[in-house]
A = this chain, B = another copy of it.
Amino acid sequence: MTDGSKEIEILMQLMAKLPGLGPRSARRAVLHLIKKRGILLSPLAEAMQRVAVKVRECVNCNNISTEDICRICGDGNRGNGEICVVEDVIDLWAMERAGVFKGRYHVLGGTLSALDDIGPDELHVPKLIDRIETERVTEVILALNATVDGQTTAHYLADLLEDRVRVTTLAQGVPIGGELDYLDDGTIVAALRARRGA
C-alpha cells in the first residue's frame, strides 16, 4: 500500500517478482526509477519492450538470441567441432565470460529429473544427437553443474553419446583462490582423487 496510485502499485508488484527482489527492495527500486525517470525508467521500459519483441531461441543450440541463429552458431570461426553442453543460458554466459572456449554450445534447458517428470525429450537431447550427426562434431564437453541433477544428466549423456563421439566433462577440484578450510568435503575428495603430478 502506497499512496494508492494504481500504476505505481502495479509496477511494484511486478518488480517484486524479479529474482532477488522482495517487496521492500521492489519499493526502493520503483522509487529510484521514478526519481531517475528520464535517464533510467524510460530507457529501461524501452529496452524491455525491444527485448520482449525481438528475443527468441536459437534454432540450433537453444541459446537466447535476437536472430533465428545466435551469434555463436552463426560465427564460422566457432565451428571447430567442439560442442559444450550446458544446462541453461546462464551457464553459457558464464562460459563465455571465461572466454576460453572457442566452439559452439548446446543448451539443454534443464536437467533430467524423475521427480519433475523431465526426460531426455524435454531437454533438447534429440536435437543434440541430430547435431552430432549433421555437424562435424569431434568432441562433446559436458559442462553441467556439479549438482546431483547435473551430474546424473552428465552420466546419462556420456553413456548415450560415447559410441558416437569423444565425450569429456569439466574437471572437478579446488577452485582457484579456494582455501581447503572453506571447501566442502565432496570437493576435497574429488580433488584428491583427481590429483596429478606436480
A residues lining the B interface (CB < 8 Å): 1-8, 10-11, 14-15, 17-21, 25, 27-34, 37, 40-52, 54-55, 63-66, 70-72, 88-90, 92-93, 96-97, 99
> Are A42 and B32 in contact (CB-based, < 8 A)?
no
> Are B34 and A55 in contact (CB-based, < 8 A)?
yes
> Are B55 and A89 in contact (CB-based, < 8 A)?
no
Tell me, in angstroms, the Cα distance from A93 to B2 when the chains sit together: 5
Give 19 A-B contacts (CB < 8 Å), ordered by A residue.
A1-B93, A3-B64, A5-B70, A6-B66, A7-B55, A8-B64, A10-B47, A11-B51, A14-B43, A18-B29, A18-B32, A18-B33, A20-B28, A37-B52, A37-B55, A41-B48, A41-B51, A42-B49, A42-B52
> Are B96 and A2 in contact (CB-based, < 8 A)?
yes
Give how many copies assemble into the complex.
2
For A51, what are the chain B residues with a Cβ–Cβ distance below 8 Å?
7-8, 11, 30, 33-34, 41
Tell me, in angstroms, the Cα distance from A93 to B32 when the chains sit together: 14
For A44, what are the chain B residues with a Cβ–Cβ distance below 8 Å?
11, 14-15, 48
> Are B7 and A71 in contact (CB-based, < 8 A)?
no
Q: Which of A18, A28, A40, A71 lies at the interface centre, i.e. has the most chain B CB atoms within 10 A of its CB?
A: A18
